[in-house]
Structure 1
Amino acid sequence: MQIVQNLTNKIHSTEFLENHRKKSTDFTRNRTLTFPRLMSFMLNALNASIQAELVRFFNVIDDSYLSTKSVSTAAFCKARMKLSHKAFIELNDDLVQAYYETATLDKWQGHRLLAVDGSVTQLPISDELLNHFGKARSQASMPAVRLSQLYDVNNNITVDLQVESHSTGEREMALKHLNKTEIGDLVLYDRGYPAVWFYKYHMLKNVDFCMRIVKSPNIIKAFLESGEYSDIVDFPCTEKSLRRCRKDNISTESIRLRLVRVDLPSGESEVLVSSLTDLKAYPTSIFADLYHQRWGVEEDYKVLKSRLNIENYSSVSVEGILQDLHAKLLTKNLSASAIHDAKRKIKKPKNTRLYEYKINFTFAINQLKDNIVRFTMKLAELELYELLISKISKSLSVIRPNRKFVRQDRRNKTNKYPMNYKRTC
């Protein structure tokens, strides 16, 4: 509850308003859609048409089946043009900081276990968006944006979200994530990230890593041919990494890292490269499960795309797109914070249970809908939050180990959320 209260107080503060309005004259007139109301409205997991969501919002504000207040879609669009998307970034940074200061954290071998992964989402057709973000393929007609997030896989919190044009490389976006890491963190990456210069930046930050690496380099081929399952290898700084290190004025010396071979159920082998070179503290047997935990960030993208519908944009401007993305990310992190509070209310399960259970994330998001408005607009007391947490704690989903599904290729699907046709509920 403290996290929600801190967020609410900031939304209503004059200093926060002054820092995130476009001009000093913005939000000074006595309008129905004030700055706090605009922020609260955008945090309410918008999925329907803007007009339908506005009607619902003011019904909640007035605690009425049908509010007498009326705000048009045009008025909302005009109001959001006065707002900077950086307001949601600052609120998310505050939430993350407060979460790590107050929550009981789940760690792996004493490390905060983070994962980095990128994703591409299709944008509405707009010349402004096409010029700013570009498109995924040369023959594509619609613009696309590249996302990258630094995600705490054990605590379900997105520590950092980067939003860039499609042409931006995933490594460059991941490099920005390192500014949000701390000494002793362990970061997991897929096979698109390994590069000697990239390893070196982690070492400079005293941040450990584990990455899947492609089998084509000679050093990897030699390791696989050796038949070993673990080895400490010198990685020389060559070609592109050498140029990058010289450009960034960092050491060009070789770096000693660990290679680990993991045999998959399919009979194939994958190779991991890691800075965890202590063989006693990190035996080879733990790496398969360690790398598998990277799947948490993939699941989080599913929450963002399928539950919060981040691709269902409400704007065709660059600023509007950034507002939508960062607002829904903040809503997702608020849900994760509520789930953390709900865990303390779960009764100890009976020993007869066949599987472990976890709180249903989708249900938590559903229960925050409208209630987040009540909290951020100071319409609810502590009792409502406790009731909400209690209800969330009772919606459990079974954890079935070793489940596998074939991933569907959605690249050629048409636009799922055309601007002309918005959901009514």
Structure 2
Amino acid sequence: MQIVRKLTNEIHSTEFLEKHRKKPTDFTRNRTLTFPRLMSFMLNALNSSIQAELVRFFNFIDDSYLSTTSVSTAAFCKARMKLSHQAFIELNDDLVQAFYEAATIDKWQGHRLLAVDGAVTQLPTSNELLKHFGKARSHAAMPAVRLSQLYDVKNNITVDLQVESHSTGEREMALKHLNKTQAGYLVVYDRGYPAVWFYKYHRLKNVDFCMRIVQSSNVVKAFLESGKYSDVVDFPCTEKSLRRCRKDKISTESLRLRLVRVDLPSGESEILVSSLTDLQAYPTALFADLYHQRWGVEEDYKVLKSRLNIENILVFLLKVFYKTYTLSY
């Protein structure tokens, strides 16, 4: 209740209104759809038509005047155009911060343990959406968006969610997640993310990581041939990482990182690369369970898709933000 009260007060504050309305004259008249009501309405899990949700919302708040007043879809869309989308980003950041301040936080070896994973979601057929977001495959007819989530697997909370066009790379989206991290965090990734330039950004943020790495590089091949289960080795910049480091004006020097071999029940081996190079503080036996915990972010995607119907929520938001009002649910 304390967190809900804090966010409610924020939505009703003059400072929050002034920061997130597009013009000083917006939300100054005595309208039925005030700024706090607009925010509250859009924060609901909407999975019906806009008009049906508006009727349900105003019936729920049970105001004698409002209950007999119909707010049209056109009126809602007009009000929405006065609101900056940054309001929801700030509100989510404040929600996450309030959670961490109020809750008893579960950690892994003293680290706040996060995981990053991506997903692709199809959208309804629309020329506007197809032009803006692209499609997953060249022969596909429906547009698709790429999602990327930064998820606290020990405390079951989404710290950050990015929504981009399908052509946006997973690493580029994950790089934005790093803005929500700080020293003391440990981020776990699947095998689509390793790159020396990407490791370097974690070092710049003083954020630790553990990633599954493919076994094709010379560094990993040499490690496998050694027969060791753990070793700290040099990772030089490859040509692609050199170009990226030079472009971003960051160091091109090699990195000392740890490789860990994890044998699976199937007889196969996974190779992990990590910034946790202290062999005594982080014994090799910890890493199998550490990497397995990233499964929490994949499970959360199932919740988003099956229980929260994230596709419906995305369609609703895209209708509002990209004016694709002719789409059907």
TM-score, normalized by length of structure 2? 0.92
SS in 2 for 1:191: coil
CA-to-partner distance for each residue in 1:59-83, whole Å, 9 max, x for gaps?
Answer: 211079x932322233222322222
Say whether the 8 Å CA contact 1:22–1:83 is kept in structure 2: yes
- Residue 314, structure 1, aligned to residue 323, structure 2: no
Hey, what's the Cα distance between the residues in 1 that align with 2:101 and 2:67? 40
1:136 corresponds in structure 2 to 136
1:214 corresponds in structure 2 to 214
1:295 corresponds in structure 2 to 295
SS in 1 for 2:151: strand
Hey, what's the Cα distance between the residues in 2 that align with 1:188 and 1:117? 9
Say whether the 8 Å CA contact 1:135–1:142 is kept in structure 2: yes
SS in 2 for 1:311: helix
1:159 corresponds in structure 2 to 159
1:11 corresponds in structure 2 to 11
SS in 2 for 1:298: helix
1:124 corresponds in structure 2 to 124
- Residue 277, structure 1, aligned to residue 264, structure 2: no
- Residue 81, structure 1, aligned to residue 76, structure 2: no
The residue type paired with residue 60 of structure 2 is V
Aligned pair count reads 324
**How far off its partner does 1:315 sit?**
5.0
Hey, what's the Cα distance between the residues in 1 that align with 2:305 and 2:114? 20
SS in 2 for 1:296: helix
* Distance 1:124-1:22 versus aligned 2 partners, 3 A rule: farther
Say whether the 8 Å CA contact 2:213–2:273 is kept in structure 1: yes
SS in 2 for 1:225: helix
1:229 corresponds in structure 2 to 229
CA-to-partner distance for each residue in 1:124-174, whole Å, 9 max, x for gaps?
Answer: 333332222222222222222222121111111222222222211111111
Tell me: higher relative CO, structure 1 or 2? Use CA pairs within 8 A at least 6 residues apart.
Answer: 1
Structure 2: gaps of 5 or more residues: none
Say whether the 8 Å CA contact 1:128–1:317 is kept in structure 2: no
Say whether the 8 Å CA contact 2:234–2:255 is kept in structure 1: yes
Say whether the 8 Å CA contact 2:319–2:327 is kept in structure 1: no
SS in 2 for 1:56: helix
1:109 corresponds in structure 2 to 109
SS in 1 for 2:52: helix
SS in 2 for 1:77: helix
SS in 1 for 2:68: coil
* Worse-superposed segment, 264-273 or 71-80: 71-80
Say whether the 8 Å CA contact 2:183–2:205 is kept in structure 1: yes
Hey, what's the Cα distance between the residues in 1 that align with 2:185 and 2:148? 18
* Distance 1:183-1:316 versus aligned 2 partners, 3 A rule: closer
The residue type paired with residue 319 of structure 1 is F
Say whether the 8 Å CA contact 1:171–1:193 is kept in structure 2: yes
**How far off its partner does 1:308 sit?**
1.3
Hey, what's the Cα distance between the residues in 2 that align with 1:315 and 1:233? 47
* Worse-superposed segment, 152-161 or 86-95: 152-161
Alpha-carbon RMSD: 2.1
- Extract structure 1 runs of 4+ deviating beyond 6 A: none
The residue type paired with residue 127 of structure 1 is N
Hey, what's the Cα distance between the residues in 2 that align with 1:233 and 1:177? 27
**How far off its partner does 1:195 sit?**
0.5
* Distance 1:13-1:221 versus aligned 2 partners, 3 A rule: same
Structure 1: gaps of 5 or more residues: 322-417
Hey, what's the Cα distance between the residues in 2 that align with 1:73 and 1:117? 35
SS in 1 for 2:316: coil
* Superposed counterparts of 1:167-206, under 5 Å: 167-206=167-206
Hey, what's the Cα distance between the residues in 2 that align with 1:82 and 1:121? 28
* Distance 1:118-1:318 versus aligned 2 partners, 3 A rule: farther
TM-score, normalized by length of structure 1? 0.72
CA-to-partner distance for each residue in 1:241-261, whole Å, 9 max, x for gaps?
Answer: 111112222222211111111
CA-to-partner distance for each residue in 1:254-313, whole Å, 9 max, x for gaps?
Answer: 111111111122221111000111111111111111001101111122222221112112
**How far off its partner does 1:11 sit?**
0.9
